[in-house]
Amino acid sequence: MPTISFERTAPLPPEEAWRRLTDWPRHAGAVPLTRIRVLTPGPTREGTRFVARSGLGPLALDDVMEVTVWRPPAGGEAGLCRLEKRGRVILGWAEIEVHPGSGGRSRVVWREELRVRFLPSAFDPALRSASLHLFGRAAGHLLKRG
């Protein structure tokens, strides 16, 4: 069960970085071959559930997620969103933190633990590397787009 962690700095105020990173449907534009379907009415809060379906046809996998911590940045304090992965195949969790930085910038910390049911641990290094690349690229894309 690989765990990844990375940081990004964005030339955005924390509230805008948060908005971009937690707009779940926008993730579909940042992750190839992925569609997002929000299962609960908005706005996002603890208990919000959504599905990221990645792949093509019968080779697609559903990543079912539920927001378990929803604390947007406010008053100079960092924001934290925690997602629990509740699917049949993809399990684990993700955390997105958005910290205020200097000069109106934001510092983003993304942590994720990913487990794929039935995938032997011998594949953990490859899964870790692919996840770090994919999620790091997605975060960069979300923070750059308006």
Digit-coded pLDDT (tens) for 87-146: 999 999 999 999 999 999 999 999 999 999 999 999 999 999 999 999 999 999 999 965
DSSP 7-63: EEEESS-HHHHHHHHT-GGGGGGTSTTEEEEE-S-SS--TT-EEEEEESSGGG-EEE
Q: What is the pLDDT of residue 145?
A: 64
Residue 74 is classified by DSSP as B
Written as six digits, the tokens of 71 are 């604390």
Q: What is the pLDDT of residue 146?
A: 58
Q: What is the mean pLDDT of the chain?
A: 95
Q: Model-level pTM greater than 0.75?
A: yes
**Mean pLDDT across the stretch 33-59?**
96
Going from the N-terminus, what domains does the chain have, and what CATH number goes with each? 3-144 (3.30.530.20)
Written as six digits, the tokens of 34 are 């992925």
Residue 76 is classified by DSSP as T
